Amino acid sequence: MKWEDLMSFTKDEDGNVTIFSVFMLVLILMITGASVDIMRFEAVRAKMQSTMDRAVLAATDLDQKQDPVAVVEDYMAKAGIIDVLADVHVEESANARTVAAWGTAEMNTIFLHMSGFDQMTAPSRSTAEEKISNVEISLVLDISGSMRFNNRIDKMRPAAQAFVNKVMTEDSNGVTTLSLVPFAGQVNPGDILFDYFRGKRPKIKNENNGWGNGDQDAPGNSLCSNNAENADEGAVDPSCSGDASTDAQTWKQAGFFSAWEQAISNVVFYFDTDGDDIYDVAHKIEGFPEGASRDADDFFQGAVAYLISNDSRLVHGDQFLGASIKGGTGKSKYFQVKGDENGHLSDQGPTKNKGKIPGSTYSYGNVNFDYWAQFYDGTTAEDREAEAAAEAEQETVEEININMPGSCIEVYSDEFATTDMPGSDDYVPHFNYWPFDPEVMDWGWCPGQDTAVQYYSSDRQHLVDFIGDMRMHDGTGTHYGMKYGLALLDPNNRDEVSHLISAGIVDARFEGRPIDWHDEETEKFIVLMTDGQTTEQYRPTDPRAAINGDVALQEQGSGSYNMLSSKSSNISQLMQQCDLARLKGVTVFTVAFETNAAAADDMRACASSESHFFHVQGDEIAEAFDTIARQINNLRLIQ
């Protein structure tokens, strides 16, 4: 080849683009193929990882009763990838379970083998832990009268019971405690803490009909039998003359009870077993025939003796305090016997005749009242006359607590700036403000002793049964419910817990609770449920008037009550407690159950965050409680 031809060849550029295009096409094919292989690899890896994540979460759940390894293997098998599972490791303790699973999948490449990669290995590892550390829960439930509308309480009960069952498992026993705080117009801390708070109950004084210290007017319809400064007024009152049932000089012949206007359906007899003159035991006799006496004075002695003989806790008639009567369309009324000084007229006291009572129920037909009457050793009318005469000669007169159905303590505005237990010793009077439905409610702004706070319980079944038996009361004191719920998480209130332990109310293993704020091994929760907005706080003008036990304040008229605090003030106090809870590291869940917008806004503002707030209708309340329980159980993916 000539030199000229060679130089011409080197300068010829024909075909260069084709060669470059071939190289680029090969490169594009390799990159595209690699992308396909990588996408296939990622699809395999994602399937493995997501399946393994679900498997270990299910296996870690402390409610899971199957073998954790078998659960993981079953998940992987159903996904068709059991062959990729290498191993499963399980660690368990009394209050925790950790499950780890790992494996690999080998995938043959389609395109990358041209680059020397014949296979790709997809690894997967997943670990989940459910750990029940020390958990303290305050479950604050609205039992106000409005819960009867639209069957709300019937929907709330099973939802709250399922919540208890979910958070209080066998594995959590000993590390999880739940305090149940029912609230209506107020919160009843129970008679044990009431006495510990030095609460002052209203007294019966034999010298002045039980009303005050002898220097005040008699309330309600007790004027005729009053021995205080207005006794002369009663002596000349036309209604107090000529009638043996009301005449101050002759009422003692009329007995303890008024004759009932209609046939009696049941009578509940109240007894005191610890000497504080507040009932601890209540037995019911029901099934009175139409022809039975309507005057309880004819049969109460035989009934009391019979009931004492059937209850080993009762040893003497002096433990009998009084009885409430139900019959026909009239409201139930309570009649004091021990220390009574207004004869057959009704008194303030417990009137519950439906639902669970702290005692037994007997049938009228099984009691021989005449036979048992001979064994009655309580105070008779003659004894009472003799005692009154003897006491008149003494400078001091024995005081007896009025047998009240509740033990609520007044909580004043400045106390909402702290997380302490209530600091006053003032008693919340016994009354209703709004209309009353005896079929589903018990009388009282303050819930009764059988609806008092349940403290630091680890007894799941007791709490489930308690929720099932709760009856509604008047008013909506949400700020009081929140106050008690937060106070029961405050370590500064350990003395109260120690007192409850010494009284046998709380298990001794919970000495030292509540645990310190912000303790790394402890989680504190409040779950607050309400169906309405916080209401005004009313109090009767005359807190000891017997009429307060029979007639709602609205029905008595505006002069019978005053306002202790306004709605806006009470909502502000609620928010103070919600803010304190957040400051102390307490997680607050709130459930607004069929509330209006304003009440829902209050609950939203109280919750720890928007995700901790639930506004639910109807059966949605069950889902809300279930979601909260699952979050409290702290099931989490940790790797």
Domain identity same for 535 and 615: yes
Domain identity same for 465 and 541: yes
Phi-psi region of 254 (alpha: psi -120 to 50; beta: other; left: phi over 0): alpha
Average pLDDT (457-469) is: 93
pLDDT band at 223 (very low <50, low <70, confident <90, very high): very low
Domain residues for the domain of 148 are 134-198+406-634
Q: Do 298 and 387 touch, CB atoms closer than 8 A? A: no
Domain identity same for 101 and 89: yes
Weakest mean pLDDT among 163-172, 198-207, 427-436, 483-492? 198-207
Q: Domain boundary residue among 401, 436, 456?
A: 401
Residue 616 maps to a domain? yes
Weakest mean pLDDT among 35-49, 121-135, 281-295, 452-466? 35-49
Residue 160 maps to a domain? yes
Residue 124 maps to a domain? yes
pLDDT (tens digit per residue) in 557-586? 989 999 999 999 999 999 999 999 999 999
Percent of the chain with pLDDT over 90: 59
Domain identity same for 122 and 141: no
Degrees, nearest 5: CA angle 123-128-130: 175
Weakest mean pLDDT among 7-11, 106-110, 249-253, 286-290? 249-253
Percent of the chain with pLDDT over 70: 79
Domain identity same for 142 and 164: yes
Say what the pLDDT of residue 565 is. Answer: 97
Q: Domain boundary residue among 401, 424, 441?
A: 401
pLDDT band at 393 (very low <50, low <70, confident <90, very high): low
Weakest mean pLDDT among 52-66, 486-500, 605-619? 52-66
Residue 567 maps to a domain? yes
Domain identity same for 149 and 177: yes
pLDDT at 208 over 70: no
Query: The CATH number of the domain where 481 resides is what?
Result: 3.40.50.410
Residue 6 maps to a domain? no
Domain count, the chain: 3
The CA radius of gyration of the chain, in Å to the nearest whole number, is 36
Average pLDDT (13-42) is: 64
pLDDT at 250 over 70: no
* Type of residue found at 587: T
Q: Domain boundary residue among 364, 385, 401?
A: 401
Say what the pLDDT of residue 112 is. Answer: 58
Say what the pLDDT of residue 198 is. Answer: 82
Domain identity same for 451 and 585: yes
Residue 599 maps to a domain? yes
Average pLDDT taken over every residue of the chain: 84
Residue 172 maps to a domain? yes
pLDDT at 605 over 90: yes
Domain identity same for 352 and 437: no
Going by C-alpha positions, the residue among 116, 223, 135 that lies closest to residue 173 is: 135
Say what the pLDDT of residue 22 is. Answer: 62
CA–CA gap between residue 182 and residue 467 (Å, rounded): 9
Residue 242 maps to a domain? yes
pLDDT at 245 over 60: no
Domain identity same for 482 and 551: yes
Domain identity same for 105 and 226: no
Domain identity same for 365 and 224: yes
82-86 contacts: CB < 8 A, separation 24 or more? 84/48, 84/122, 84/124, 85/52
Phi-psi region of 343 (alpha: psi -120 to 50; beta: other; left: phi over 0): left
Q: How many H helices and E strands in the chain?
A: 16, 19
pLDDT at 259 over 80: yes
pLDDT at 525 over 90: yes
Domain identity same for 288 and 183: no
pLDDT at 637 over 80: no
Higher-confidence residue: 217 or 517? Answer: 517
pLDDT band at 64 (very low <50, low <70, confident <90, very high): confident
pLDDT at 98 over 70: yes
Instruction: Say if pTM beats, i.e. exceeds, 0.85.
Output: no
pLDDT band at 604 (very low <50, low <70, confident <90, very high): very high
